[in-house]
């Protein structure tokens, strides 16, 4: 094994998984507070950085109870994205393990085609502690996402948690996968919304690759991706005449565009200003408000979870940003005058 990395030693117990070495190593590292992705572990195994009873082994090999597993983790490679100190990041909480930011609408989360710079990731790399943050090796698109465990669409504002180290990132990803993260969004929708729970399948649209849909069969995933379950709870907060409603949306799952799809397709109340799933409101006064807003009226206002390091509950709330407050005030005035 290469020198310079801290070696970890484990004796395999009866209760540990035995069917695959890579699965076992992920389990052992998580138990030791060193959570690591399976893809990273597989790279270490291929490079001979994991030994079973002193010998290299394949990732797929079964491991007997009582075997000695030696692991020498590989230091993460620096991400390829360039640091950009010009990206403004509103930090609402920070400690040595993670930070929580209040993302403005218009800020793209990670570099991708058409957005090679000026993204949240570029801004993070300019902050202390993120220079060597590991990119997620499981990302099939090859995006550089140091510390990113979830994302918000470009046009959505609000709270986003970012991990500063790999164990925190993996622990948060596991909490998201187990639906243990509290997330609530505020939205202004067109039409008269109602309290509802939408529990549907969710997958990519068959003919429009930019869109997702809940009107999909379990065997009809586009591009080979099987549809997944999506659950959104909608609660009415304020009615603005018959043309708009303010709602709170809490998530059990976090699929791409999930809230936007559910409100548009199932509630028939698309988010005001949504350029992909909405339509220009029929009433001119409401349409003018949407056009001035210039983005979907969706804000991630609550984020809470058990902190991976302290094991204590943490929770943050974010007030509506200025553009949504302005749109809301305009709609309230219109509703009061009964002109909508």
Catalytic residues: 153
CB 41 within 8 A of CB 81: no
Residue pair 187/168 in contact by the 8 Å Cβ criterion: no
| Helix (H) or strand (E) segment spanning residue 121 | helix 120-124
Beta carbons within 8 Å of 310's beta carbon, 6+ residues apart: none
Angle at 253 between CA 247 and CA 258, to 5 degrees: 55
Q: Which of 303, 335, 297, 330 is nearest to 98 (CA)?
A: 303
- CA pair distance 290, 221, nearest whole angstrom: 33
User: How far apart, in whole angstroms, are the C-alpha atoms of residue 327 and residue 310?
Assistant: 40
Instruction: Find the largest Cα–Cα distance for the chain.
Output: 79
Pairwise CA distance, residues 299 & 319, whole Å: 9
**CB environment 17-39: b (16+ within 10 A), e (fewer):** bbebbbbbbbbbbeeeebbbbbe
Q: How far is CA 116 from CA 80, 99, 119, 120, 148, in A?
A: 11, 23, 8, 11, 16
Question: How many of the other CB atoms lie within 10 Å of CB of 186?
Answer: 22
Pairing of strands 55-56, 50-52: antiparallel
């Amino acid at each position: 094994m290469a020198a310079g990395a801290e070696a970890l030693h484990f004796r395999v117990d009866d209760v540990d998984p035995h069917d695959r070495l890579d699965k076992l190593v992920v389990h052992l590292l998580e138990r030791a507070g060193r959570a690591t992705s399976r893809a990273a572990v597989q790279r270490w195994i291929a490079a001979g950085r994991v030994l079973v009873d002193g010998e290299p082994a394949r990732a797929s090999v079964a491991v007997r109870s009582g075997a000695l597993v030696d692991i020498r983790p590989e230091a993460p490679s620096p991400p390829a994205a360039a640091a950009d100190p010009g990206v403004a990041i509103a930090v609402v909480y920070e400690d040595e393990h993670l930070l929580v930011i209040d993302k403005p609408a218009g800020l793209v989360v990670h570099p991708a085609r058409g957005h090679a710079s000026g993204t949240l990731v570029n801004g993070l790399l300019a902050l202390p502690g993120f220079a060597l943050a590991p990119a997620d090796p499981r990302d099939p698109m090859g995006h550089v996402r140091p510390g990113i465990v979830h994302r918000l669409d470009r046009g959505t504002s609000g709270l986003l948690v970012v991990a500063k180290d790999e164990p925190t990132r993996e622990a948060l990803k596991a909490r998201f996968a187990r639906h243990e993260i509290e997330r609530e969004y505020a939205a202004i929708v067109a039409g008269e919304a109602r309290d509802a729970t939408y529990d549907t399948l969710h997958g990519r649209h068959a003919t429009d690759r930019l869109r997702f849909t809940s009107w999909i069969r379990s065997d009809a995933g586009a591009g080979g991706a099987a549809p997944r379950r999506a659950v959104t709870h909608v609660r009415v907060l304020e009615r603005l005449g018959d043309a708009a409603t303010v709602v709170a949306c809490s998530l059990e799952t976090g699929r791409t565009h999930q809230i936007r799809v559910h409100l548009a397709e199932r509630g028939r109340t698309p988010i005001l200003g949504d350029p992909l799933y909405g339509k220009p409101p029929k009433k001119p006064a409401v349409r003018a408000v949407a056009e001035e807003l210039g983005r979907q009226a969706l804000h991630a206002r609550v984020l809470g979870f058990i902190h991976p390091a302290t094991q204590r509950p943490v929770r943050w709330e974010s007030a509506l940003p200025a553009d949504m407050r302005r749109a809301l005030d305009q709609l309230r005035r219109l509703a009061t005058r009964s002109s909508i």
